[in-house]
Amino acid sequence: MMTISQQKALVSLLQDGDADTVGMVKGKLIEGGYTHLPEYHQLLRLATGPARENLREVIHHIEEAKTLGDVSRGLAKLRTLSQLEEVCWNLARADQPGFDGGPYSRRLDQWASEVGRLISPHATAREKVACLSRYLGHEQHIGGNREDYYHPRNCYLPWVMEFRSGLPITVTLIYILVGARLGIPVEGIGAPGHFLARLDGIIFDPYYGGRSLSDGEWELMASEIPEKQRALLSKGCTPLQTMHRLLINMRNCYVKRSDGERCRRLDQYLAVLQR
């Protein structure tokens, strides 16, 4: 822990030092890492002008590095739905430093509680799908963003929850996570050019308000992909497969915006999944 005199001397260097000195001090502070952030925040209260901006850069760099590390570590061990959910919150934190996923996790808890009140103890799978769709798709108005499909916020679970619209995979993920809280095993299906949900053989489309597909619609969709790949549609996506597809969608959104920095970050995430 730095003394008051050491804190003042450090702030003075960040305030009035030449560019080389400021760069060296910032580098040393960054090396200090996440455990020293409380001290850096104390320094921030003492600083003004250039010193304050330099300290903000240091803090941002450290927080961003930790968040990116959290995402990568989460991806490396991703096996369960709860881990998938945690990675979604960390992805949002990487995009918006300081983000807290707690309120959104509790909102999913609340939605699950509300859906649970609609489902009778002996409900069939079709009735469960109807309850999920009625509450999430119609009461909460969660569905697909067909007006601005490639907006990056459609890929981030909390923003999809906030704006009530997203991509097929992120909207379906809400149904999956709400269902999991109720012991209802909703599966994600990586259909060609789309992402659907399935419960006990009933295929439905959260992107369009949870509408159930007829056998004919499903057969037509399946016929559009090579026969060798059709067997994949009979299996639900694992959390790992779901996240892989979500990251690909996210990268495509940033490619369309020519955001090279975020594309490189997503390439790093995808590399972790492919190890």
Give the pLDDT confidence of 90-112 residue by residue, as tens digits.
Answer: 999 988 888 999 999 999 999 99
- Mean per-residue pLDDT over the chain, rounded: 89
Output the pLDDT for position 69. 80
- Give pLDDT tens digits for 178-221: 999 999 999 999 887 889 999 999 999 999 999 998 888 877 77
DSSP class of residue 134 equals I
Output the pLDDT for position 18. 79
Pair 47, 15: CB distance under 8 Å: yes
Domain definitions of the chain by residue range = 4-72, 79-273
**CA-to-CA distance for 167 and 245, rounded, in angstroms?**
11
Of 246, 195, 232, 189, which is closest to residue 74 (Cα–Cα)?
246
- Give pLDDT tens digits for 55-90: 888 777 677 777 778 899 999 999 999 999 999 999
What are the residue ranges of helices labelled H in 2-48? 4-16, 19-32, 37-46
Output the pLDDT for position 254. 97
Q: Quick one: average pLDDT of 29-43?
A: 78
Output the pLDDT for position 89. 97
- Is the whole-model pTM more than 0.85? no
**CA-to-CA distance for 61 and 229, rounded, in angstroms?**
44
pLDDT band of residue 149 (cuts 50, 70, 90) is: very high
